[in-house]
Structure 1
Amino acid sequence: MGLDLQETFRALKHRNYRLFYFGHGMSLIGTWMQRTATIWLVYRLTQSPEILGNVDFIGQIAGVVLIPVAGVLLDRWNRYRVILWTQVLSMVQALALAALVFTGTVAVWHIVVLNTVLGMINSFDMPARQAFISQIVEDKDDLANAIALNSAMFNGARIIGPSIAGLAIAAFGEGLCYLFNGLSYIAILGALLAMRLTVPQAVVVSPDNIIGGLAEGCTYTYHSLPIRMVLLLLALLSLVGFPVMPLMPLFAGQVLGGGPEILGWLMAAFGMGALVGTICLAARKTVVGIEKVIAINSVVFAVGLIAFSLSTVLWLSLPIAFIMGFGLIAQMASTNTIIQSLVDEDKRGRVMSLYVLSFGGITPIGSLFAGHAAGMIGTPATFFISGMLALAGAIVFAWNLPAWRIAACPIYSKKGLI
């Protein structure tokens, strides 16, 4: 049993990754508290599914536009310093929201503006963190494990954060969640400042202008069939599946007849499933065969979403939310692992920005459509249609797995993975 645990958590033997893991984990609890508080605050202020979708879309679209440009710059800038600055700016954003809520002056337009600022910050922060992992895990055999553990940390926070947020909102209001998130950035800032980096960032030989660098990264990704296929599937699931989260308050309030406590339980169940899925992924010893994991978990999520749309009672919705979380995040973590394993080092920042764009950029568009669809046909019907579309995409991906393997095996061989 001890050997299995050592294998599952082997990336934590690297000091820099260990600092990042625990510091970022504390910060992410605050992030999930803020996310839960924001969707509930908008719902409380407006009671409107359309506005929920619009706020999520407007708040993120500015950042979406910047993500590809950020990828080019991250292959040239010092990613460590970029991450330091994004944490500081995110702290300021959270504390500004806390001040607005505590003073009773918060309005929807405040949330939109500050979410837009956060989206712009995240357009640099998210791909920078993804690309930075390869720099703080010295043994590349442990990279896939580090990515899986990172996803497990993210989803552990997804369990703890919304659970605390649901209780905190009911007892004290949304302001406490924003305050805790602002203060939680102290943990990741301390961890970053304590690091001693020994692995240099790869030197990029690419066009001097941003457009040329962006075109080079997109061309490389397009011509890599394994990376292209997994990114397209991830983009589809982000379009039709991720809007489950911003619409969850509607499901909790209108279908289950609950309040912030029920919302917290649903998001925690989703996060628990995601945590279990990523821990199972961390126990894998090789990336070979992980394409099957992507196909299977895409089906699991899609079927779970269809079943969730048909549920009208909490005791059934909670285990289904667990299944959805398991499927969706295991699929995402597997996609991340494959891309990080296959990508050339000098293009890592650009390709990881496209990875982030495939879910972070597509999700706001999905939220916009889903919010309006929920207003017209209802939240359950919206979830059902989304589940059917996700299932169709998963089946197409699975059907093309033989071609995927033919293209991926030479790259695996070149990198010494097989």
Structure 2
Amino acid sequence: MTSTPPFTSTPALATTPAGSAASATTPEPTSEPARRPSTFAALRIRNYRLYFGGQVVSNTGTWISRIAQDWLVLQLTGSPLAVGITTALQFAPMAFFGLWGGLIADRYSKRRLLMITQVVMAVLATVLAVLALTGAVQVWHVYAVALGIGLVTVVDNPARQTFVNEMVPRDLVRNAVSLNVGNFQMARLVGPAVAGVLISAVGVGLAFAVNAVTFVAVFCALAAIRSRDLVPSAVAPRGRGQVREALRYAVAEPRVRWPIVLIFFVGTFGFNWPIILSAYTQQEFGGQAQVYGWLNTALAVGSLAGALLAARTTSSRLWVQFAAALGVGLLILAMGLAPGIAVFVVLLVATGVVSIMFNSLNNSTVQLATDPVLRGRVMSIYMLVFMGGIPVGSLIIGAVTDAFGPAVSQTISGVIIVVAALASGVIAMRQAGLRPHLDLHRESGHLMTITPVDERVRAA
């Protein structure tokens, strides 16, 4: 029996139905360079280097604010569910308006859109800082600011996700996307620790003020980018049915469809860290702000390592995404069963590595598989499913955590992700005409091979 290469983006997986929207526009070739790029290859590009530097500062401020926000809500309400509501309000707008945000990103200059969104976010951060510093803040103020940030993110996210394609050549897109993720995780490494110190020393108000100032760095970086060095994406013409066109494309193209399915389950049930870590801190590990900061830092260490590993990866094989999703589920399940803080922290680091590798590879695979004219809308679908699922997960996990504790909610989340990854992988292989075959005699040197269905029939 002859085995086929392991579950790659083969023609069987890439074929789209005739007459569908996807067949009307053919994506750019997705062949990867034979030689792995260096970890920081995209930073050789001046425009990307400027953008990356601005994001380092701004993302650090974002993490400082995020930790302060979660802690403030806990102080005001004492409820992990309230933290979940805050998270839900921040991500819910993507579920309702995300597709139209992607359409805006496809129609207008991504650089200008990003400059506008940074200004609006800076204003919202300033409002929250003033309320906290004056002692007038109430929980509904935090809810309102979270909702405002969510509305801005509807446009900011697809514009930011796809802007990388205008700054770097195609063969460095996967590397740049991974470095963007690493940038965010590097900020997570620093931000929570700084937030813990600020909250303990002077309170949450100054933390929000620091975040407001950091948006200036991104605005200045965007202003300094040389327009002549950019390669603008194709602009989507005005017309009817453009959102439906992107939806049809995402459903028809397997290299887009399955990453979106996986990110829904992993994002909804695996990325509820504000709820989980704050609840573990309060209910299991002593209730100190510094401990909450340390747990977030441990997660960031693993996440940064995962992003740097992903930056050197060139594979677009779908089985890697399924395996990574399965790994995330198993690690989260193990965290729910951890006997103490030492084991919990080790598993937290490992979960950070695997989850960010999964997220980075998923993101770049979708971008590279998508026609440039549709990229903003398709990425908005991706982010809609990812960020739109988080409010659902936040409410469910927040309620379960309130009722049964964080360990039970982590165990349930891990089981759901494991089952979803295994079931999706099996369905994807069947749709591609592939079947796994267990070789107990190991005559081929492999315990399991994957073969086309018709070949299995001939062999029989």
Match of 1:79 among 72, 86, 110: 110
Equivalent position amino acid for 2:191 in 1 = G
Match of 1:104 among 135, 146, 149: 135
Q: Which residue does the alignment assign to 2:312?
A: 283
Larger relative helix fraction: 1
TM-score (norm 2): 0.83
**Aligned-partner Cα distance in 2 for 1:382–1:288:** 32
**Aligned-partner Cα distance in 1 for 2:43–2:283:** 43
Equivalent position amino acid for 2:320 in 1 = V
Q: Residue by residue, what CA displacement relative to the aligned partner does 1:285-304 show, whole Å, maximum 9, x if unpaired?
A: x2343x34322322222122
Give, in angstroms, the shift of residue 10 of structure 1. Answer: 0.8
| Structure 2 gap segments, 5+ residues each | 1-34, 435-460
Match of 2:233 among 202, 211, 226: 202
Match of 2:334 among 289, 303, 307: 307
**Aligned-partner Cα distance in 2 for 1:260–1:5:** 41
Equivalent position amino acid for 1:181 in 2 = N
| Residues 1:174 and 2:201 aligned together | no
TM-score (norm 1): 0.91
Q: Which residue does the alignment assign to 2:451?
A: none
Q: Which residue does the alignment assign to 1:389?
A: 416
**Aligned-partner Cα distance in 1 for 2:37–2:93:** 42
2:108 and 2:235 in contact (8 A); partners too: no
Q: Which residue does the alignment assign to 1:118?
A: 149
Give, in angstroms, the shift of residue 53 of structure 1. Answer: 1.8
Match of 1:366 among 380, 393, 399: 393
**Aligned-partner Cα distance in 2 for 1:332–1:406:** 26
1:266 and 1:317 in contact (8 A); partners too: no
Give, in angstroms, the shift of residue 255 of structure 1. Answer: 1.4
**Aligned-partner Cα distance in 1 for 2:129–2:312:** 39
Give, in angstroms, the shift of residue 390 of structure 1. Answer: 0.7
| Residues 1:57 and 2:88 aligned together | yes
Q: Residue by residue, what CA displacement relative to the aligned partner does 1:263-283 show, whole Å, maximum 9, x if unpaired?
A: 111111111111101101112
Equivalent position amino acid for 2:185 in 1 = N
Q: Which residue does the alignment assign to 1:10?
A: 41
**Aligned-partner Cα distance in 1 for 2:430–2:100:** 31
Q: Residue by residue, what CA displacement relative to the aligned partner does 1:363-398 show, whole Å, maximum 9, x if unpaired?
A: 011101111111222221111100100111222244
**Aligned-partner Cα distance in 2 for 1:52–1:184:** 24
| 379 and 344 in structure 1: CA distance in 2 versus 1, 3 angstrom threshold | same
Equivalent position amino acid for 1:287 in 2 = S
1:64 and 1:119 in contact (8 A); partners too: no
RMSD: 1.9
* 3-state SS of 1:135 partner: helix
Equivalent position amino acid for 2:390 in 1 = T
Give, in angstroms, the shift of residue 312 of structure 1. Answer: 4.7
Q: Percent of aligned positions with the same letter in both sequences?
A: 30
Q: Residue by residue, what CA displacement relative to the aligned partner does 1:53-84 show, whole Å, maximum 9, x if unpaired?
A: 22222343234312111111111111111000
Q: Residue by residue, what CA displacement relative to the aligned partner does 1:9-30 show, whole Å, maximum 9, x if unpaired?
A: 1111111111111111110000
Match of 1:161 among 183, 188, 191: 191
| 101 and 355 in structure 1: CA distance in 2 versus 1, 3 angstrom threshold | same
Higher CA-based Rg:
2
Q: Which residue does the alignment assign to 1:234?
A: 263
Give, in angstroms, the shift of residue 5 of structure 1. Answer: 11
Aligned length: 399
Q: Residue by residue, what CA displacement relative to the aligned partner does 1:234-274 show, whole Å, maximum 9, x if unpaired?
A: 01111111123333211111012231111111111111111
Q: Which residue does the alignment assign to 2:439?
A: none
Structure 1 residues 18-37: aligned runs within 5 Å: 18-37=49-68
Q: Residue by residue, what CA displacement relative to the aligned partner does 1:133-182 show, whole Å, maximum 9, x if unpaired?
A: 00011x21111111111111111111111111112111111112111111
Match of 1:334 among 339, 361, 368: 361
Q: Which residue does the alignment assign to 1:217?
A: 246
Q: Which residue does the alignment assign to 1:40?
A: 71
**Aligned-partner Cα distance in 2 for 1:165–1:125:** 24
Quick check: 310-319 or 142-151, which moved more? 310-319
1:235 and 1:359 in contact (8 A); partners too: yes
Match of 1:298 among 308, 325, 332: 325
| 72 and 167 in structure 1: CA distance in 2 versus 1, 3 angstrom threshold | same
| 389 and 399 in structure 1: CA distance in 2 versus 1, 3 angstrom threshold | same
**Aligned-partner Cα distance in 2 for 1:94–1:207:** 34
* 3-state SS of 1:7 partner: coil
Give, in angstroms, the shift of residue 400 of structure 1. Answer: 4.7
2:265 and 2:417 in contact (8 A); partners too: yes
| Residues 1:142 and 2:172 aligned together | yes
**Aligned-partner Cα distance in 2 for 1:154–1:201:** 24
Q: Which residue does the alignment assign to 2:25?
A: none
| 273 and 69 in structure 1: CA distance in 2 versus 1, 3 angstrom threshold | same
